[in-house]
Amino acid sequence: MDPEAGPEPNATGPAAPVSEPHHVTPPTRAIIAELAADPRLPIWIRRAVITVAVALLVTFFLGWRLGLTIAAFVAIVDTIYNSKTMGLIPAAVRVSSAQRRTKRRLIMVRPAGFVAIHARAIPGTDSVIDHLVIGPPGVFAVDSERWDRRLPIRTVASDSAAGPVLYHGPFTQRDRLAHARWEASQASRLLSAELGRDITVHPAMVIYGPTVPWGMTTLRNVDVFSGRFLGRYFRSRKRADRGGHLAWEQAEEIFEAAQRVLPRT
Protein backbone atom coordinates (compact mmCIF):
# COMPACT_ATOMS: atom_id res chain seq x y z
CA MET A 1 0.00 0.00 0.00
CA ASP A 2 1.34 3.50 -0.81
CA PRO A 3 2.23 5.59 2.23
CA GLU A 4 -0.17 8.31 3.15
CA ALA A 5 0.70 11.70 1.73
CA GLY A 6 1.93 14.28 4.22
CA PRO A 7 0.11 17.55 4.95
CA GLU A 8 0.09 20.04 2.10
CA PRO A 9 1.87 23.31 2.82
CA ASN A 10 -0.34 26.26 3.74
CA ALA A 11 0.01 29.41 1.66
CA THR A 12 0.35 31.54 4.79
CA GLY A 13 2.70 29.41 6.76
CA PRO A 14 3.76 25.89 7.73
CA ALA A 15 1.14 23.23 7.94
CA ALA A 16 -0.35 22.50 11.32
CA PRO A 17 0.72 19.18 12.80
CA VAL A 18 -1.63 16.36 12.09
CA SER A 19 -2.62 14.32 15.11
CA GLU A 20 -2.67 10.55 14.90
CA PRO A 21 -6.18 9.16 14.37
CA HIS A 22 -7.62 7.64 17.50
CA HIS A 23 -8.67 4.28 16.15
CA VAL A 24 -7.45 0.72 16.21
CA THR A 25 -5.09 0.00 13.34
CA PRO A 26 -5.74 -3.04 11.12
CA PRO A 27 -2.79 -5.03 12.57
CA THR A 28 -4.10 -4.38 16.07
CA ARG A 29 -7.59 -5.46 15.06
CA ALA A 30 -6.15 -8.65 13.62
CA ILE A 31 -4.30 -9.40 16.86
CA ILE A 32 -7.44 -8.73 18.91
CA ALA A 33 -9.51 -10.97 16.64
CA GLU A 34 -6.93 -13.76 16.90
CA LEU A 35 -6.91 -13.54 20.69
CA ALA A 36 -10.69 -13.51 20.84
CA ALA A 37 -10.80 -16.69 18.74
CA ASP A 38 -8.31 -18.48 20.98
CA PRO A 39 -10.24 -21.02 23.09
CA ARG A 40 -7.69 -20.61 25.89
CA LEU A 41 -8.81 -17.02 26.47
CA PRO A 42 -11.48 -17.91 29.10
CA ILE A 43 -8.83 -19.89 31.02
CA TRP A 44 -6.46 -16.93 30.97
CA ILE A 45 -9.20 -14.54 32.10
CA ARG A 46 -10.24 -16.83 34.95
CA ARG A 47 -6.63 -17.24 36.04
CA ALA A 48 -6.06 -13.47 35.98
CA VAL A 49 -9.22 -12.79 38.00
CA ILE A 50 -8.33 -15.38 40.65
CA THR A 51 -4.73 -14.16 40.88
CA VAL A 52 -5.74 -10.50 41.28
CA ALA A 53 -8.43 -11.37 43.85
CA VAL A 54 -5.96 -13.40 45.93
CA ALA A 55 -3.34 -10.64 45.67
CA LEU A 56 -5.77 -7.96 46.85
CA LEU A 57 -7.19 -10.06 49.68
CA VAL A 58 -3.83 -11.14 51.09
CA THR A 59 -2.39 -7.65 50.63
CA PHE A 60 -5.27 -6.14 52.62
CA PHE A 61 -4.65 -8.39 55.61
CA LEU A 62 -0.96 -9.36 55.44
CA GLY A 63 0.85 -6.85 53.22
CA TRP A 64 1.70 -6.48 49.56
CA ARG A 65 4.86 -8.61 49.60
CA LEU A 66 3.07 -11.70 50.84
CA GLY A 67 0.12 -10.87 48.59
CA LEU A 68 2.28 -10.93 45.45
CA THR A 69 4.03 -14.12 46.55
CA ILE A 70 0.82 -16.04 47.22
CA ALA A 71 -0.81 -14.70 44.04
CA ALA A 72 2.15 -15.91 41.96
CA PHE A 73 1.96 -19.31 43.65
CA VAL A 74 -1.78 -19.58 42.87
CA ALA A 75 -1.15 -18.71 39.20
CA ILE A 76 1.58 -21.35 38.93
CA VAL A 77 -0.58 -24.05 40.55
CA ASP A 78 -3.51 -23.20 38.26
CA THR A 79 -1.27 -23.37 35.18
CA ILE A 80 0.12 -26.77 36.18
CA TYR A 81 -3.35 -28.11 36.99
CA ASN A 82 -4.78 -27.10 33.62
CA SER A 83 -1.80 -28.46 31.71
CA LYS A 84 -2.25 -31.87 33.36
CA THR A 85 -6.04 -32.13 33.22
CA MET A 86 -6.54 -30.59 29.77
CA GLY A 87 -3.35 -31.52 27.96
CA LEU A 88 -3.43 -32.38 24.28
CA ILE A 89 -3.58 -36.05 23.35
CA PRO A 90 -0.60 -37.09 21.20
CA ALA A 91 -1.49 -37.27 17.50
CA ALA A 92 -0.71 -40.98 17.15
CA VAL A 93 -2.96 -41.84 20.11
CA ARG A 94 -5.76 -39.62 18.77
CA VAL A 95 -5.70 -41.34 15.38
CA SER A 96 -5.56 -44.91 16.67
CA SER A 97 -8.27 -44.21 19.26
CA ALA A 98 -10.53 -42.66 16.62
CA GLN A 99 -9.96 -45.58 14.27
CA ARG A 100 -10.84 -48.11 16.99
CA ARG A 101 -14.05 -46.28 17.85
CA THR A 102 -15.14 -46.10 14.22
CA LYS A 103 -14.30 -49.77 13.71
CA ARG A 104 -16.52 -50.74 16.64
CA ARG A 105 -19.38 -48.53 15.46
CA LEU A 106 -19.22 -49.96 11.95
CA ILE A 107 -20.05 -53.39 13.38
CA MET A 108 -23.50 -51.99 14.18
CA VAL A 109 -24.27 -51.34 10.49
CA ARG A 110 -23.38 -54.85 9.29
CA PRO A 111 -27.01 -55.98 9.53
CA ALA A 112 -27.84 -53.16 7.09
CA GLY A 113 -25.51 -54.72 4.50
CA PHE A 114 -22.27 -52.81 5.10
CA VAL A 115 -18.80 -54.37 5.26
CA ALA A 116 -15.48 -52.62 5.85
CA ILE A 117 -11.73 -53.01 5.75
CA HIS A 118 -9.54 -50.90 8.01
CA ALA A 119 -6.13 -49.21 7.99
CA ARG A 120 -5.23 -49.91 4.37
CA ALA A 121 -2.21 -48.31 2.71
CA ILE A 122 -2.36 -46.52 -0.62
CA PRO A 123 0.44 -48.13 -2.66
CA GLY A 124 3.36 -45.85 -3.45
CA THR A 125 2.42 -43.31 -0.75
CA ASP A 126 2.66 -42.86 3.00
CA SER A 127 -1.10 -42.38 3.28
CA VAL A 128 -3.51 -44.80 4.92
CA ILE A 129 -7.24 -45.09 4.34
CA ASP A 130 -8.68 -45.48 7.83
CA HIS A 131 -11.83 -47.32 6.74
CA LEU A 132 -13.15 -48.38 3.35
CA VAL A 133 -16.84 -49.12 3.77
CA ILE A 134 -18.85 -50.97 1.11
CA GLY A 135 -22.61 -51.27 1.25
CA PRO A 136 -25.85 -50.87 -0.70
CA PRO A 137 -25.44 -47.11 -1.31
CA GLY A 138 -21.87 -47.46 -2.60
CA VAL A 139 -18.26 -47.24 -1.42
CA PHE A 140 -16.99 -44.79 1.19
CA ALA A 141 -13.48 -43.80 2.32
CA VAL A 142 -13.95 -42.77 5.94
CA ASP A 143 -11.33 -40.66 7.70
CA SER A 144 -11.46 -40.97 11.51
CA GLU A 145 -10.38 -37.84 13.41
CA ARG A 146 -10.08 -37.25 17.13
CA TRP A 147 -9.57 -33.56 17.87
CA ASP A 148 -8.99 -31.53 21.01
CA ARG A 149 -12.41 -31.21 22.63
CA ARG A 150 -11.56 -27.76 24.00
CA LEU A 151 -11.46 -26.20 20.53
CA PRO A 152 -14.83 -25.49 18.91
CA ILE A 153 -15.72 -26.67 15.42
CA ARG A 154 -17.20 -24.14 13.05
CA THR A 155 -17.49 -23.27 9.39
CA VAL A 156 -16.49 -19.97 7.82
CA ALA A 157 -17.96 -18.72 4.56
CA SER A 158 -15.52 -18.57 1.68
CA ASP A 159 -15.48 -16.66 -1.59
CA SER A 160 -14.32 -19.85 -3.27
CA ALA A 161 -16.82 -21.88 -5.26
CA ALA A 162 -15.68 -24.88 -3.21
CA GLY A 163 -17.84 -23.69 -0.33
CA PRO A 164 -17.34 -22.97 3.40
CA VAL A 165 -14.08 -23.76 5.19
CA LEU A 166 -14.02 -26.07 8.22
CA TYR A 167 -12.23 -24.71 11.29
CA HIS A 168 -11.16 -26.43 14.50
CA GLY A 169 -10.64 -23.53 16.86
CA PRO A 170 -8.43 -21.02 14.98
CA PHE A 171 -7.01 -23.72 12.69
CA THR A 172 -8.35 -24.30 9.19
CA GLN A 173 -9.03 -27.89 8.19
CA ARG A 174 -9.04 -27.17 4.46
CA ASP A 175 -6.06 -29.48 3.95
CA ARG A 176 -7.71 -32.30 5.90
CA LEU A 177 -10.78 -32.12 3.68
CA ALA A 178 -8.59 -32.03 0.56
CA HIS A 179 -6.68 -35.07 1.82
CA ALA A 180 -9.93 -36.96 2.46
CA ARG A 181 -11.00 -36.25 -1.12
CA TRP A 182 -7.61 -37.36 -2.40
CA GLU A 183 -7.73 -40.65 -0.49
CA ALA A 184 -11.20 -41.37 -1.91
CA SER A 185 -9.98 -40.58 -5.43
CA GLN A 186 -7.01 -42.94 -5.01
CA ALA A 187 -9.27 -45.74 -3.80
CA SER A 188 -11.57 -45.07 -6.75
CA ARG A 189 -8.66 -45.20 -9.19
CA LEU A 190 -7.29 -48.47 -7.80
CA LEU A 191 -10.65 -50.21 -7.62
CA SER A 192 -11.67 -49.05 -11.10
CA ALA A 193 -8.41 -50.36 -12.58
CA GLU A 194 -8.77 -53.67 -10.76
CA LEU A 195 -12.39 -54.29 -11.76
CA GLY A 196 -12.30 -52.74 -15.21
CA ARG A 197 -15.21 -50.36 -14.60
CA ASP A 198 -15.74 -47.03 -12.87
CA ILE A 199 -16.05 -47.30 -9.09
CA THR A 200 -16.95 -44.10 -7.27
CA VAL A 201 -15.67 -43.74 -3.72
CA HIS A 202 -17.32 -41.09 -1.53
CA PRO A 203 -15.10 -39.25 0.99
CA ALA A 204 -16.35 -38.92 4.57
CA MET A 205 -14.87 -37.60 7.81
CA VAL A 206 -16.03 -38.68 11.26
CA ILE A 207 -14.95 -36.50 14.20
CA TYR A 208 -14.55 -37.41 17.87
CA GLY A 209 -13.83 -35.06 20.77
CA PRO A 210 -15.35 -31.61 20.29
CA THR A 211 -19.04 -31.02 19.77
CA VAL A 212 -19.98 -30.97 16.09
CA PRO A 213 -22.64 -28.21 15.80
CA TRP A 214 -24.55 -30.03 13.09
CA GLY A 215 -25.82 -33.56 12.58
CA MET A 216 -24.42 -34.43 9.18
CA THR A 217 -23.29 -32.03 6.49
CA THR A 218 -21.18 -31.91 3.34
CA LEU A 219 -18.20 -29.54 3.20
CA ARG A 220 -16.16 -29.30 0.02
CA ASN A 221 -17.60 -32.60 -1.22
CA VAL A 222 -16.71 -34.41 2.02
CA ASP A 223 -19.46 -35.67 4.32
CA VAL A 224 -18.57 -34.47 7.84
CA PHE A 225 -20.32 -35.68 10.99
CA SER A 226 -19.85 -36.59 14.63
CA GLY A 227 -18.86 -40.10 15.63
CA ARG A 228 -22.18 -40.64 17.36
CA PHE A 229 -23.93 -40.16 14.00
CA LEU A 230 -21.90 -42.83 12.21
CA GLY A 231 -24.63 -45.48 12.13
CA ARG A 232 -27.29 -42.92 11.29
CA TYR A 233 -25.14 -41.60 8.43
CA PHE A 234 -24.89 -44.95 6.66
CA ARG A 235 -28.50 -45.86 7.27
CA SER A 236 -29.62 -42.50 5.88
CA ARG A 237 -27.42 -42.98 2.81
CA LYS A 238 -29.01 -46.37 2.27
CA ARG A 239 -32.51 -44.87 2.43
CA ALA A 240 -31.59 -41.94 0.16
CA ASP A 241 -29.92 -44.05 -2.53
CA ARG A 242 -32.53 -46.77 -2.96
CA GLY A 243 -32.54 -46.41 -6.73
CA GLY A 244 -28.79 -46.96 -7.15
CA HIS A 245 -28.09 -49.71 -4.66
CA LEU A 246 -25.25 -52.14 -5.20
CA ALA A 247 -26.32 -55.74 -5.42
CA TRP A 248 -24.70 -57.95 -2.82
CA GLU A 249 -22.67 -59.67 -5.55
CA GLN A 250 -21.27 -56.29 -6.64
CA ALA A 251 -20.49 -55.29 -3.07
CA GLU A 252 -18.69 -58.58 -2.47
CA GLU A 253 -16.68 -58.14 -5.67
CA ILE A 254 -15.60 -54.62 -4.63
CA PHE A 255 -14.79 -55.84 -1.13
CA GLU A 256 -12.50 -58.58 -2.45
CA ALA A 257 -10.87 -56.18 -4.94
CA ALA A 258 -10.20 -53.65 -2.14
CA GLN A 259 -8.42 -56.34 -0.13
CA ARG A 260 -6.16 -57.03 -3.12
CA VAL A 261 -5.27 -53.46 -4.14
CA LEU A 262 -5.04 -51.87 -0.68
CA PRO A 263 -2.40 -53.65 1.42
CA ARG A 264 -2.60 -53.87 5.20
CA THR A 265 -0.48 -51.45 7.19
Are residues 76 and 101 both part of a single domain?
no
Which of 49, 66, 85 terminates a domain? The answer is 85
Are residues 195 and 142 both part of a single domain?
yes
Are residues 141 and 241 both part of a single domain?
yes
Task: Fill in the DSSP letter of residue 243.
Answer: G
Question: Does 11 fall in a domain?
Answer: no
Question: Does 230 fall in a domain?
Answer: yes
Are residues 73 and 113 both part of a single domain?
no
**pTM of whole model > 0.85?**
no
Which of 37, 70, 85 terminates a domain? The answer is 85
Are residues 139 and 188 both part of a single domain?
yes
**187/210 Cα distance (integer angstroms):** 29
Show the domain range for 154: 91-261
Count the alpha carbons within 13 Å of 135 in the hemisphere toward its beta carbon: 29
User: Binning pLDDT at 50, 70 and 90, where does residue 147 land?
Assistant: very high
Are residues 98 and 36 both part of a single domain?
no
**C-alpha dihedral sign at 219, 234, 213, 128:** negative
* pLDDT tens digit sequence for 20-72: 444 444 445 544 544 444 445 567 787 788 888 888 888 888 888 888 888 88
Which of 49, 68, 85 terminates a domain? The answer is 85
Total of domains in the chain: 2
Question: Does 97 fall in a domain?
Answer: yes
Strand duo 201-208 + 222-226: pairing: parallel
* pLDDT tens digit sequence for 90-135: 555 556 889 999 999 999 999 999 999 999 999 999 999 999 999 9
